[in-house]
Amino acid sequence: MENKIIKIVGFTGSLRRSSYNKAALRAASALLPENAVLDIIDLADIPFFSEDLEAEGIPPSVAEFKRRLSEADAILISTPEYNYSIPPVLKNALDWASRGKDLPLSGKPLAIMSASISMLGGARAQYHLRQVCVVLNLAPLNKPEVFIANADTKFDKEGNLIDERTKNSISRLVKALVESAESRL
Ligand SMILES: Cc1cc2nc3c(=O)[nH]c(=O)nc-3n(C[C@H](O)[C@H](O)[C@H](O)COP(=O)(O)O)c2cc1C
C-alpha cells in the first residue's frame, strides 16, 4: 500500500533522565524514513504487575500503553542491560501487554537496539529480549543488529547522538523495520 504512514511505537526500560537508550530513541525519531512516525512511550507510570491489581481493573496507564501499542504497525525497543538481562521496567511492561484478550504486540515486527556504557553494548540483554519475543509472538528483525557500545562516548552532554556510524546503523534498522511493517499491510 503506497503512501501509508507507518506508525512505530518505541520504548525503553530505562527510567533515567539522561538515559542513553532514551537518547537512542530520540535519535531514531530523527532518522526515520519519510513515511514513518515514532511515538515514544514513557514507561514510568506503569505499576508493577500483580494479578490482584489486574482483577481490580486495568490501571489507566496500562490501558493507555496497550491502546498505543494496538495502533502501532511496528515496535522499536531500546534496552539497557541490567545484570546481563533486560531491566524490570521493560519486562513488566511486556508482561502487562501479554495479558487479556487484546494482544497488541502479537504478530508485529520489532526492531531492537541497546545502549550500554560497556564494550558489549547490551548484547546479552538483547538475546534475553529475543527469548521473551517468542511467547509474545513478536517478530523481531534478525538484522541489522544495533549495539551502542561505550555509549558515554557516542552522545553529547545534551543526549544528542554524535557518532556517525551509530547514526547509520540506526537508520538501517528503522528502514528495515518500516519495510517489514509495509510487507505485512
Ligand atoms: C542494576 C544495573 C545493572 C547493570 N548491569 C549491566 C550489565 O550487565 N551489562 C552492561 O553492559 N551494563 C550494565 N549496567 C550499566 C548500564 O548499561 C548503564 O548504566 C546504561 O547507561 C544504562 O542505560 P541508560 O543510559 O539508558 O539508563 C548496569 C546498570 C545497572 C543500574
Best substitution site from 15, 81, 154 to test ligand 1's pocket, by max atoms within 8 Å of Cβ?
81
Structural domain contains residue 148: yes
Domain that holds residue 81: 6-183
pTM: 0.97
Please give the number of the atom of ligand 1 that sits closest to the Cα of 78: 26
Per-residue pLDDT for the chain (185 aa), expressed as one digit of tens each? 557 999 999 999 999 999 999 999 999 999 999 999 999 999 999 999 999 999 999 999 999 999 999 999 999 999 999 999 999 999 999 999 999 999 999 999 999 999 999 999 999 999 999 999 999 999 999 999 999 999 999 999 999 999 999 999 999 999 999 999 999 99
Best substitution site from 79, 82, 157 to test ligand 1's pocket, by max atoms within 8 Å of Cβ?
82
Q: How many domains does the chain have?
A: 1
Structural domain contains residue 1: no
Query: Which CATH number covers residue 71?
Result: 3.40.50.360
Q: What is the DSSP code string of 84-146? A: TB--HHHHHHHHHHTSSS--TTTT-EEEEEEE-SSTTTTHHHHHHHHHHHHHHT-EE--SS-E
Structural domain contains residue 133: yes
Structural domain contains residue 54: yes
Contact 66, 102 (CB under 8 A): yes
Query: Which cell numbers in the block locate residue 93?
Result: 511492561
Structural domain contains residue 104: yes
